[in-house]
A and B are shown apart, each in its own frame.
Chain A
Amino acid sequence: MSFNDYGRMPLRSNVDMQLQTAFSDGNWNAVIRLADKRAKSLKDPYYEAIKICAESQLDGAVGKSSVLTAIDELVRKKTVPDIDTLELYEWAAWDFIGGEIEYADTLGPLRVRWAKANPKSPMAIQCLRSCLEYWDLVSAQQISTALDRAYVNSGDRRHMFWSITLTFLLSISPQCSESSRKVYSLLVLKQLERAAEVTENATKVDVNDRGLQTEEEVCLYYRVLLANGSKADFIKRVQCPKLGALALLEKGHKLLFWESLKALETWGEWDLIYDLCRRALRMGVDGVTTPFFVCDWLVWKRFATAASKSATPESALEEVQAILRQYFAMDIKTAAMYKKNLSLALLETTFQLPGRSQALDDGHKGMTPRVIQLGLFLQQYFDKLSAFEDVKAYVADLSFEEAKTLMEEILPKLLDGKSDKPQQFILKSFASKLRYLLTTCPQTLSRHPSVVDGKDQSEPYQCRLCSQLTSFPCRHCLKDIVMEAACTYQQISKDKDLISSIPRLDKDPRLDLAMVIGTSILKLARLRTKDHSLTRPPMRGVDAGLLLQATLILDTQLKETPKDNGLRLLLVQLHLLLGSASIAYQLWIPMDVKRTIQDALSPLFFDRISTLSPGLFHGSRPLMEPLRTHYRNTLRDACPLKIWEAFLSGSYTSILGMNEYDSTLRRSCTMMMSMVEESRATRVFGGKGDGEIADQQLLWKITDDTTLVHQTDYGSFPNLESHHGPPFQDFVRLGPGLSNERSHLSFLAEQFADLLGYKPPKEYKPAKTHEAALRDRTYTLERLSQLANSLTTFLHAPNTPTLLTGPETTYFSVASLLASALVTCLSTSRGDPSPKPLASATQSIRAALAALRSEFTHAVATQASPCLAMADMHTLSYLRDTALAVRHAAAFVLALHDKELARDRSGKSALHRDVVAEMKALEAVAGKAVAEARAHVQRTKETLGEAGWLDRLLELTFAGGGGEDMEKAVLGVVGGDMAEAEDWAGRLLESWREGVKGWVAVKWE
């Protein structure tokens, strides 16, 4: 924006000093007086405009609206406005744009009018920039077209590409009318096609021609072709001699090649992928490009996959291997990274080649070329940090016999002849990771009759590794893995030489071992993915002792390897599950998740936090402030951040990417999460916060039709699972991750709570009370039916049941039922017939509330120990919320009834008798549930305050279902005696006590 250094708009330079000074000092009364004087004496309407702007800066509605009236007049006049006046008005109207006025209906078209009349003035570019800043694409596109026309023969090519880029942006934007969309899509494609022809046909490059010259221009063309053109055209063009992907590669530009492969893959054009990869990789060998320029892993992977899909896979894959061999044979020093890419490519081709899972020797079914190649890879890389990730998918695809051979024959031989002790232990820890991985692979189990003698078998499989009957995953193997890893761990801990060599290694092998032990125990604790436990509270059925053991081991390991963020992230989840949220927070803080990365990472700690530990919101730091600041700062302007810089630099593909990123960020589930959590926490403590959730500016544009996007980054989260099942975070998270459906439901439920809690401001004293009451009632009814509809729609979306925890489902269902019930209540007056649907709605509400209550009571009663009371606070939290929603809804209706009675003594406008009765009954039921929940908190507080807790907690920890030998093993890992465990239990207990303190402060009214 063209503000001066004071953040104020500079006036035209010929304005006298006195007025300039008054203006820049913000001395608005003086400006009004002076401008008025100048307007009269100089007869220049510009001074009139200054006056209007100054008036708009004063408090008071009249002055404020004068600038809007002035703009409106300019729009209506249809003449070309004065640019200085326009700039002034835009500055003065800043606060109103997007609220009282839309830029695209007012200042945008005025800018267009001016720029079209003066396309060659530098101010025309300023007009374009302003339209972009307000993301008025319709106006910006028109201006850019005018500029392009004006500069067509000037050699300034950027106007052509600005116009093209903006036409494209408009064509894919919701700002574009459906009727124009097609026209613009076609127009932009034609323009670019013409440019492509110019370049393909030119004999020499003329810097001023209207062809495609820079990488950005060419890639813009292909992006548009992908969006608006045909597949056939894309395929034809991408092989062209000048603008084709390989031609650009030759010039050192990789982007197009990269993007083309992706597009071709989605179309399944494998033959072309094969050809492009082959020729590109050959260019490296032949010295056309720098040797390893295209040696990316994904290129090799696609090359091998394409070969396997060709008509003659055997020979095609031979060709891949031949090129690989040429690379291996190149006698140049290259990065270890590329060497590894080559080795992995060789592995990939072996896995793609037909028949490579056939044994070489009939007598040894597991010794296949695939296994041998894996062995060769591991020989080189098993001690590297990324070895497990590198081979994981391949190992998970081995047949059972192959896997057995790998584990029992190949791995033990890797160190043949070497006596290097650290290496031996690294290999052992690596092997235990693989062994765990195999428990997650279905090929290690064979089906066993699931019904025997007419009875369902709880162990419907036979494990092929240990031969025992089991469910999935094999509990016997998991236990063996724990025992073995624990033994190795202790061997390391006891060996001083070994310990002192650890800093020189890529990774502390104990970390891997602890992770395997912890993960296995968590599986034994029956942590399950949450998507099939539809209505159960999160902790139901979990072996608390084992959960505690795993946490103890991992917590202890973190002391040894505090820098390992994967371990830290896992522990954050475990402590959230255990209800020790303050520990989770202490673990979270050192990772310093701030600024840009918050959107992707914050859900790992903050999601559902208000239901777990409201007390955290009263800590010394404002919990959500950093997130809030991030969104406020980055989404303040209507346009994508830094977009103008990208235009000025001719970075056209960056513009498209930035636009997409911006649009996604504005629909971020994390952003919604931050608002919802804050709003819930405020309500929990009976506060009002920043007003209603729907008033948050960042949420203004979120409607039911907005698809909210979640981009949670689990990249650093430990995951030893195979691709045959869900990733590990799905097992340890409190419930399903963020989703569009849950985000909308939470947002709607908060709006419902706001509506029920609404109190008109004290100064609101309408003159005509009767009309006002009617108006209010109509408005409330409208809002209620909207909310009821929206809540029902999202609740009934096909995936919703798998996206919520049980308590969430109840809460949102009750909110939806209440909203509908209230519509019935408010629209049934005393004289109407008894409202039938009400009874069934209230019955459902009662049933839902009762079910949640019994779930909770059951959870409390069956808890392994009352010391785990904090672990089910999520359920308690929703019990409270559900009960209070019922109570507030009933109170809302009854208050309205009383008000109507007081206002209209005839009783005509009062509510139906049955309504009143139903609501009173609901209020009573809800009151009971609230009291119960409250009593539970009180009880928990008292229980946790009792003496002897440490022992009880330790007893519980070591009474898990793993058996005595496993407990011993666990104890061995954490130092052999109880000291470490006691210290740990003490901290856990302290955290629970802190958590319950937060709960005691919660309001129950």
Chain B
Amino acid sequence: MANFRRFRPDDLNKLSKCNLDPLTETYELGFYLQYHAKWPSLFQVAEDQNGNIIGYIMGKLESSPEVYKFSEHYLPWHAHITAVTVAPEARRLGIGRLLSEQLEVAADANDAWFVDLFVRSTNHKAITFYKNMGYSIFRVVKDYYGDHSTDPTQSSEDAYDMRKPMKRDVKKEHVRDDGENHAVDPSDVW
């Protein structure tokens, strides 16, 4: 009962199955439209037979801004998963995986070094999901999130920056085994 296709702006009227779930953030309109404007083929949705969106991925292709060229944190040409979400009723059917794989195909087609993403360090489900697809932790961004998803007494939460190398990275230069020991500040990620 699912179709995979490109996002269309009127899909924003059909997001309730995904976005009423507390783990899925709802953004300002401009944020969605920016992805649709700049990387239309990297913003993909899964819809059910009634046209409800039951999953989507927002992705982009980019390098760090030129001014950071000589910084140790500079990121070469890569794909980035900005958001991926699947409606609770449609989970564990492979939709999340399919959406991510589509982005990986695009990353390879565009000669990207790797695909990366940020995930809350307590979002174990998502971390397992990524790990099972070949992603690994590259670094820990301390206090990246301004709130904590499970513990209201805390005012921040770390992010894992996870990566999966693409075909271009033959020598696996852009991943590491001990990423968990590499902490950086939020100001080091752009």
Residues of A participating in the B interface, judged by any CB pair closer than 8 Å: 215-216, 252, 254-255, 258, 296-299, 301, 334-338, 340-341, 344, 385-386, 389-390, 563, 565, 591-597, 599-601, 630, 633-634, 640-643, 645-646, 648-649, 651, 653-655, 657-658, 660-661, 664, 711, 713, 715-716
Contacts of B5 in A (CB 8 A): 254-255, 258, 296
Asked if B184 CB lies within 8 Å of chain A CBs, one says no
Contacts of A301 in B (CB 8 A): 49
Interface pair B14/A600, CB less than 8 Å apart: yes
Contacts of A711 in B (CB 8 A): 10, 13
Contacts of B26 in A (CB 8 A): 592, 594-597
Which of A335, A386, A657 meets B98, CB within 8 Å? A335
**Secondary structure type dominating chain A contacts:** helix
Q: Which of B9, B22, B94 has the most CB of A within 10 A?
A: B9
Which of A216, A385, A593, A664 meets B20, CB within 8 Å? A593
Interface pair A341/B1, CB less than 8 Å apart: yes
In this complex, what residue of A is CB-closest to B28? Answer: A595
16 contacts between A and B (CB under 8 A): A215-B41, A341-B2, A344-B1, A389-B49, A389-B50, A592-B26, A593-B20, A597-B19, A642-B37, A645-B37, A646-B36, A646-B37, A649-B40, A658-B33, A658-B36, A716-B17
Contacts of B167 in A (CB 8 A): none
Which of A336, A390, A595 meets B29, CB within 8 Å? A595
Interface pair B3/A386, CB less than 8 Å apart: no
The docked-state distance in angstroms from the alpha carbon of A658 to that of B92 is 32
Interface pair B9/A661, CB less than 8 Å apart: yes
Contacts of A390 in B (CB 8 A): 1, 49
- Binary A-proximity of B11-27 (CB < 8 A = 1, otherwise 0): 01111110111100011
Interface pair A252/B16, CB less than 8 Å apart: no
Contacts of B32 in A (CB 8 A): 596
Interface pair A651/B48, CB less than 8 Å apart: no
The docked-state distance in angstroms from the alpha carbon of A634 to that of B98 is 32
A-B residue pairs, 6 tightest by C-beta: A335-B94, A661-B9, A646-B37, A715-B52, A296-B3, A600-B13
CB distance from B5 to the nearest CB of A (A): 6
Asked if B38 CB lies within 8 Å of chain A CBs, one says yes
Interface pair A592/B6, CB less than 8 Å apart: no
Interface pair A337/B27, CB less than 8 Å apart: no
Interface pair A713/B13, CB less than 8 Å apart: yes
Interface pair A252/B105, CB less than 8 Å apart: yes
The docked-state distance in angstroms from the alpha carbon of A296 to that of B15 is 19
The docked-state distance in angstroms from the alpha carbon of A660 to that of B36 is 14
In this complex, what residue of A is CB-closest to B36? Answer: A654
Contacts of A595 in B (CB 8 A): 26-29
Interface pair B27/A386, CB less than 8 Å apart: no
Which of B12, B40, B105, B109 meets A653, CB within 8 Å? B40
Interface pair A596/B12, CB less than 8 Å apart: yes
Contacts of B9 in A (CB 8 A): 657-658, 660-661
CB distance from A218 to the nearest CB of B (A): 13
Question: With A596-B29, A597-B26, A642-B34 as given contacts, are A337 and B14 in contact (CB-CB < 8 Å)?
Answer: no
Interface pair B36/A386, CB less than 8 Å apart: no
In this complex, what residue of B is CB-closest to A336? Answer: B93
Asked if B97 CB lies within 8 Å of chain A CBs, one says yes
Question: With A335-B93, A337-B98, A593-B20 as given contacts, are A645 and B3 in contact (CB-CB < 8 Å)?
Answer: no
Within 8 A of A (CB), among B89-104: 89-90, 92-95, 97-98
Which of B4, B16, B30, B50 meets A641, CB within 8 Å? B30
Contacts of B39 in A (CB 8 A): 649
Interface pair B1/A716, CB less than 8 Å apart: no
The docked-state distance in angstroms from the alpha carbon of A298 to that of B37 is 26
In this complex, what residue of A is CB-closest to B89? Answer: A385
Interface pair B12/A216, CB less than 8 Å apart: no
Q: Which of B13, B15, B48 has the most CB of A within 10 A?
A: B13
Contacts of A389 in B (CB 8 A): 1, 48-50
CB distance from A161 to the nearest CB of B (A): 14
Please count how many residues in chain B sit with their CB below 8 Å of the partner chain's CB atoms.
Answer: 50
Asked if B176 CB lies within 8 Å of chain A CBs, one says no
Question: With A385-B89, A596-B26 as given contacts, are A298 and B3 in contact (CB-CB < 8 Å)?
Answer: yes
Contacts of B14 in A (CB 8 A): 600, 713, 715
Interface pair B12/A661, CB less than 8 Å apart: yes
The docked-state distance in angstroms from the alpha carbon of A664 to that of B4 is 25
Contacts of A344 in B (CB 8 A): 1
Further pairs besides A296-B2, A565-B20, A661-B9: 12, Cβ < 8 Å: A252-B109, A297-B1, A385-B88, A591-B20, A592-B20, A592-B26, A596-B32, A634-B30, A649-B38, A658-B37, A711-B10, A716-B17
CB distance from A377 to the nearest CB of B (A): 11
Asked if B172 CB lies within 8 Å of chain A CBs, one says no
Interface pair B93/A600, CB less than 8 Å apart: no
Contacts of A716 in B (CB 8 A): 16-17, 20, 52
Question: With A597-B19, A601-B16 as given contacts, are A646 and B3 in contact (CB-CB < 8 Å)?
Answer: no
The docked-state distance in angstroms from the alpha carbon of A634 to that of B15 is 18
Contacts of A645 in B (CB 8 A): 34, 37-38
Contacts of A298 in B (CB 8 A): 3, 49
Question: With A335-B98, A597-B26, A661-B10 as given contacts, are A216 and B34 in contact (CB-CB < 8 Å)?
Answer: no
Asked if B69 CB lies within 8 Å of chain A CBs, one says no
Contacts of B19 in A (CB 8 A): 597
In this complex, what residue of A is CB-closest to B90? Answer: A386
Q: Which of B89, B90, B109 has the most CB of A within 10 A?
A: B89
CB distance from A725 to the nearest CB of B (A): 16
Which of B6, B10, B38, B109 meets A646, CB within 8 Å? B38
CB distance from B91 to the nearest CB of A (A): 9
Question: With A340-B93, A713-B14 as given contacts, are A651 and B38 in contact (CB-CB < 8 Å)?
Answer: yes
Interface pair A642/B33, CB less than 8 Å apart: yes
The docked-state distance in angstroms from the alpha carbon of A937 to that of B9 is 46
Interface pair B89/A597, CB less than 8 Å apart: no
Contacts of B182 in A (CB 8 A): none
Asked if B8 CB lies within 8 Å of chain A CBs, one says yes
Interface pair A641/B33, CB less than 8 Å apart: yes
The docked-state distance in angstroms from the alpha carbon of A301 to that of B15 is 23
The docked-state distance in angstroms from the alpha carbon of A258 to that of B47 is 13
- Binary A-proximity of B35-79 (CB < 8 A = 1, otherwise 0): 011111100001011111000000000000000000000000000
CB distance from A590 to the nearest CB of B (A): 8
The docked-state distance in angstroms from the alpha carbon of A715 to that of B2 is 15
In this complex, what residue of A is CB-closest to B33? Answer: A642
In this complex, what residue of A is CB-closest to B106? Answer: A252
The docked-state distance in angstroms from the alpha carbon of A660 to that of B32 is 15
Contacts of B49 in A (CB 8 A): 297-298, 301, 389-390
CB distance from A212 to the nearest CB of B (A): 16
In this complex, what residue of A is CB-closest to B94? Answer: A335
CB distance from A165 to the nearest CB of B (A): 13
In this complex, what residue of A is CB-closest to B92? Answer: A336
Contacts of B95 in A (CB 8 A): 335, 337
Contacts of A599 in B (CB 8 A): 12-13
Contacts of B50 in A (CB 8 A): 389, 715
Contacts of B33 in A (CB 8 A): 640-642, 658
The docked-state distance in angstroms from the alpha carbon of A301 to that of B2 is 11
CB distance from B145 to the nearest CB of A (A): 16
The docked-state distance in angstroms from the alpha carbon of A711 to that of B19 is 16
The docked-state distance in angstroms from the alpha carbon of A654 to that of B10 is 11
CB distance from B93 to the nearest CB of A (A): 4
Interface pair A297/B3, CB less than 8 Å apart: yes
In this complex, what residue of B is CB-closest to A711? Answer: B13
Interface pair B36/A297, CB less than 8 Å apart: no
The docked-state distance in angstroms from the alpha carbon of A108 to that of B116 is 43
The docked-state distance in angstroms from the alpha carbon of A385 to that of B88 is 9
Which of A601, A630, A657 meets B36, CB within 8 Å? A657
The docked-state distance in angstroms from the alpha carbon of A646 to that of B52 is 25
The docked-state distance in angstroms from the alpha carbon of A653 to that of B4 is 18
In this complex, what residue of B is CB-closest to A652? Answer: B40
CB distance from B34 to the nearest CB of A (A): 5
Contacts of A713 in B (CB 8 A): 13-16
Contacts of B6 in A (CB 8 A): 254-255
Contacts of B89 in A (CB 8 A): 385-386
